[in-house]
Amino acid sequence: MFSNVLRKRSFTRQAEASRLDHIVLVNAKNEAGENAWFYVLVDQGKLNAFLSNQGMSLMNIHDYGRILYSGIGSQPSDLIKWHMHNEYGFTE
């Protein structure tokens, strides 16, 4: 059973990684007004809308896709960047 879970997770990561052109690093303010960053896997049909709406004063990222990683500050840590590279093949 455990191997099925690993296989499924691996398949899911591979499928997400195949959509690498839909992963976006967003720098914005969170709901508390703090600087924050978000790695977002944007839904394919919403990519153009997402890109054109970036920079709006209010935007709900969840409306456009799934947040893969997020945190407080201006940039993700080296550890998160390593995870993004190893899990999704994403590099800045």
pLDDT average, residue stretch 50-68: 83
Enumerate the β-bridge partners of residue 35. 29
pLDDT average, residue stretch 45-72: 85
Band (pLDDT 50/70/90 cuts) for residue 4 is very low
What does the mean pLDDT of the chain come to? 79
Taking the C-alpha atoms of residue 69 and residue 54, their distance in angstroms, rounded to an integer, is 18
Rounded (10°) CA dihedral 54, 58, 62, 67: 60
* Minimum mean pLDDT range among 1-5, 34-38, 43-47: 1-5
Band (pLDDT 50/70/90 cuts) for residue 3 is very low
Backbone angles phi, psi at 73, to 5 degrees: 120, -175
Burial 2-26 (b: 16+ CB within 10 A, else e): eeeeeeeeeeeeeebeeeeebbbbb
pLDDT > 90? residue 75:
yes
